[in-house]
Amino acid sequence: MNKQSGIHYLHEHKGPGATVKVPQEVARIRDTVVAGLGDLLQGAFDAVDDSLFELANNARSNNEQNRYFEAMREIRIKRKGVEKHFQSAVAKLFGQPPRSSDISNTDQNARQTADSLSLVHNDELEEQVALNAMVSKARAYFQGPLIQLQTRFSVIYPDANETDPVNPMAPEHLCGAFIEAAQALEIQIRERLIVLKQFDRYVVSNLGMLLDEANRILVQAGVIPNFRYHGKTGDQVRAKEPESNPEPKTSTEAHRQPAQAESPRDEAFFGQIRQLLAQQRAGGVGSQGPRSADPSLHVIGGAELFQLLTALPPQQPQQLDGNLSAGEPLVVDLQSLIEQLLGKAQPVDGKKPALNEMDEDLINLVSMLFEFILDDYNLSAPIQVLISRLQIPILKVVIKDRSFFSKATHPARKLLNALARAGIGWSDADEKTRDKLYEQIHTIVVRILNEFDGDIALFERLGEEFDQFLSRENRKATLVEQRTRESERGRIKSQKAQETVDQLLQDRLSKHRVPVAIQDILLQGWSRVMFLAYLRNDVEHRWNQAVRVVDDLIWCLHPHIEDQERDQWVRVVPGLLKSLRAGLEEVSYNSTKLDEMMSEFKHELTEAFRAHAFTEAKEMPGEPESQDEASIAQEAADKNQQELEDAAIAEFVAQVDAIEVGNWVEFNLVNGASFRCKLSAVIEEANCFVFVNRMGLKVIEKTRTELAHEMRRGRLTTLEHGALMDRALDAVMGSLRRNTG
């Protein structure tokens, strides 16, 4: 890793004081943090493994698939070592934490320009961008707890003070510890970025609980217990910053409200997007300079652009009181729409209205997001159409608050994710007019179209109302699904038990001659004993014993001439009779005639024991008739066909096994219809998968092999159930990187 990334390796800070004994409260924090980060890192590596496996399954070529599998193997082999190295490196941070000068260097490096980054190798550039964004996001998001910790740690460590503070839990130091540990992974940049992404998602994003716990421990120890911190507003921060850009501000920038001032995390994330968009606009060379420098243009944006959009009439006013999901998704060409609005705007001082580049980038980004949404197969058709109506409201949102892109908890972003997730189980055949969930989502879209005036709180209110509604609906659906699952599990297991018992008895009786009376006992009575033994085998372990009774009974019914066999017969029969009676009594089989049946059974056994002179033909099972050549050839052909079939579906069986309980899938029928359902249970005893609908009711059940065949024919598709906007942003960022790379 190039040091331009702002991440510093721990060996740079090692010195004679690295083994200095730390105070008791710091040691307690160290142990808590090391253990907590170790647990979080395990979750991150598990997510990396899942991501690589999914990528390998969806690979377009064998080489690409092998690459992902090799990366999985490399990470699985070395992950324990990386985890141990990471925890050890974090522990060393508390022995001699890096000085504040390192933090200053990190700040300076984090603000490096695109020109300096362009000198770095492409792979290192991508990794640096990811790391800088990760650190900036964490420092901005956990600003309060980090400042408190830094102040308290600076009191505890003897060489630290207000002018030269220390904080061993600063995000840049923890990320540096991970980067140092991850150097052992010999993987390519694409896989390394996946590792960093999951580290950010599972470790860095969850630092808050560890920071709070560290502050709590220090407060209990009496270290500045009454700390008070008041964050600076955007205007205060800008007032203290030097004027690095003498370029005059446009009127729209001057009118931006302080409430919408973005945090450093938001600026860092949006800055990455703008850099990629600028490279794409100029063919990778860079932007052509700010439009505000052109004296013939009146650059508008922000509040003015928002007012222009607000003045727009509804796109389809006739549908606002009807069914918004009717027809195809609504595609709005935002660029053309804005150009029309600017064309109608009155010139100011003879200057032609034009967008500033920042708002133009916002428009481009929103357009790309909705292009992904409208092409997303995972969205059900009604939801896709409804969300397509929200392009202009979402554009208004991002003009007001760009944290929509970087903050997963943004009210508008959360609401869109919730709508998509709730409607994933819809099918075109659903009766929407009587569906409460559809009615609720439809109402939310109408309210956004009619009521949104720039107040983001509307999305928060609608999100809370929708969460409450979903909580009630999911509670009912969960109860129904639980009953369905338990019922199906019992039914399928019983069916499997009966099939197993019937097959075993038929197999045994087809190979041996057994008196009719004994056959009735086995088929009508002992089969019940075997059935119960199979169902209770997990607890009572009596299945093998029940099968052994059948085998011993058939063996004893046939004559035996050798003395050794006859001695064994004498030893087996008493226990056999006892087990047979006990089992038949347990299932209450023909209790009025049980004594008579047992007497007849003893008689048959005695007759078999006395039969010394039976011919060999009668003693032994009949020889099977010889098969003709045609029959043998047919069996060989069937076997060969089965082997080819098994090989053809092998890869699809692996994909079927990757479907987890709770995942949604879509089945496509031969007649062109389709339906969506959720995997509710996998019953291993019967090799059976049970699927339910949104209401928790059973829709279909299929075996693993049947599902593999459906997938092979293209009739089964797994649906992505992750957050819609997260997937859309990932897709857009990936597309931008490919286009500029």
Which residues have a Cβ under 8 Å from the Cβ of 189 and sit 6 or more positions away? 123, 126, 127
pLDDT of 512 above 60:
yes
Section 483-498 average pLDDT: 85
For residues 414 and 277, membership in a common domain is answered with: yes
Q: What is the pLDDT of residue 19?
A: 44
pLDDT of 269 above 80:
no
Residue 483's pLDDT band (cuts 50, 70, 90): confident
pLDDT of 731 above 60:
yes
Q: Which of 262, 281, 278 is nearest to 405 (CA)?
A: 262
pLDDT per residue over 160-187, tens digit each?
777 788 899 999 999 989 999 998 999 9
Q: Is residue 562 in a domain?
A: yes
Helix and strand counts by DSSP (H, E) for the chain:
31, 7
Residue-range definition of the domain harbouring residue 380: 263-284+295-315+323-454+728-740
Q: Is residue 204 in a domain?
A: yes
For residues 64 and 190, membership in a common domain is answered with: yes
Distance separating alpha carbons of residues 195 and 201, to the nearest angstrom: 10
Section 42-66 average pLDDT: 85
Q: What is the pLDDT of residue 80?
A: 92
Q: What is the pLDDT of residue 431?
A: 54
For residues 154 and 80, membership in a common domain is answered with: yes
In the structure encoding, which two tokens stand for residue 667, read together? 């089945």
Which residues have a Cβ under 8 Å from the Cβ of 271 and sit 6 or more positions away? none
Give the containing element (helix H, strand E) for 101. helix 100-110
Section 506-533 average pLDDT: 86
Q: Which of 283, 288, 304, 149 is nearest to 218 (CA)?
A: 149
Q: Is residue 247 in a domain?
A: no
Section 320-341 average pLDDT: 64
Coil, strand or helix: which one is 299? strand
Q: What is the pLDDT of residue 444?
A: 92
For residues 655 and 718, membership in a common domain is answered with: yes
Question: How are strands ordered across the β-sheet holding 698-703?
Answer: 698-703, 688-692, 674-683, 664-668, 716-718
Q: Is residue 489 in a domain?
A: no
Q: Is residue 153 in a domain?
A: yes
Q: Residue 599, CB half-sphere, CA atoms under 13 Å: how many?
A: 4
Instruction: Select the highest-mean-pLDDT range: 336-340, 461-465, 686-690.
Output: 461-465
Q: What is the pLDDT of residue 171?
A: 92
For residues 576 and 691, membership in a common domain is answered with: no
Per the structure, the count of domains in the chain is: 4
In contact, 401 and 270? CB cutoff 8 Å: no
Residue 261's pLDDT band (cuts 50, 70, 90): very low
Q: Is residue 408 in a domain?
A: yes
Residue 196's pLDDT band (cuts 50, 70, 90): very high
pLDDT per residue over 615-637, tens digit each?
333 444 444 444 556 666 666 66
Beta bridge partners of 353: 298
pLDDT per residue over 23-42, tens digit each?
788 888 999 899 889 989 98
Mean of all residue pLDDT scores within the chain:
76
Residue 352's pLDDT band (cuts 50, 70, 90): confident
pLDDT of 243 above 70:
no
In contact, 415 and 463? CB cutoff 8 Å: yes
Q: What is the pLDDT of residue 295?
A: 64
pLDDT of 238 above 50:
no
For residues 195 and 47, membership in a common domain is answered with: yes
Percent of the chain whose pLDDT exceeds 70: 75
Q: Of 248-257, 306-315, 408-417, 672-681, which range is least confident?
A: 248-257
Q: What is the pLDDT of residue 622?
A: 43
Q: Residue 658, CB half-sphere, CA atoms under 13 Å: how many?
A: 22
pLDDT of 314 above 60:
no
pLDDT of 9 above 70:
no
Q: Of 68-82, 117-131, 396-410, 556-570, which range is least confident?
A: 117-131
Distance separating alpha carbons of residues 597 and 605, to the nearest angstrom: 12
Q: What is the pLDDT of residue 535?
A: 85
Q: What is the pLDDT of residue 121?
A: 55
For residues 519 and 375, membership in a common domain is answered with: no
Q: What are phi and psi of 185, to 5 degrees?
A: -80, 115
Query: Exposure string (b/e) for 583-616, b if CB count within 10 Å is 16 or more?
Result: bbeebebeeeebeebeeebeebbeebbeeeeeee
Specify burial of residue 530 (Cβ count, 10 A radius: 0-12, 13-18, 19+).
buried
For residues 305 and 448, membership in a common domain is answered with: yes
For residues 165 and 205, membership in a common domain is answered with: yes
For residues 564 and 660, membership in a common domain is answered with: no
For residues 277 and 380, membership in a common domain is answered with: yes
Residue 106's pLDDT band (cuts 50, 70, 90): very low
Q: Is residue 248 in a domain?
A: no
Final residue belonging to a domain, choices 593, 619, 645: 619
Q: Report which DSSP code applies to 226.
A: T
Percentages helix, strand, coil for the chain (3-state, rounded to 5) are 65, 5, 30
Give the sign of the dihedral formed by CA 672, CA 677, CA 679, CA 683: negative
In the structure encoding, which two tokens stand for residue 303, read together? 């509040």
Which residues have a Cβ under 8 Å from the Cβ of 586 and sit 6 or more positions away? 529, 532
CATH classification of the domain holding 678: 2.30.30.140
pLDDT of 503 above 60:
yes
Section 63-82 average pLDDT: 90
For residues 614 and 715, membership in a common domain is answered with: no
Q: What is the pLDDT of residue 254?
A: 37
Residue 641's pLDDT band (cuts 50, 70, 90): low
Q: Is residue 700 in a domain?
A: yes
Q: What is the pLDDT of residue 464?
A: 92
Q: Residue 600, CB half-sphere, CA atoms under 13 Å: how many?
A: 12
pLDDT per residue over 587-625, tens digit each?
887 767 777 778 878 877 777 777 643 433 344 444 444
pLDDT per residue over 420-441, tens digit each?
888 887 765 555 556 788 888 8
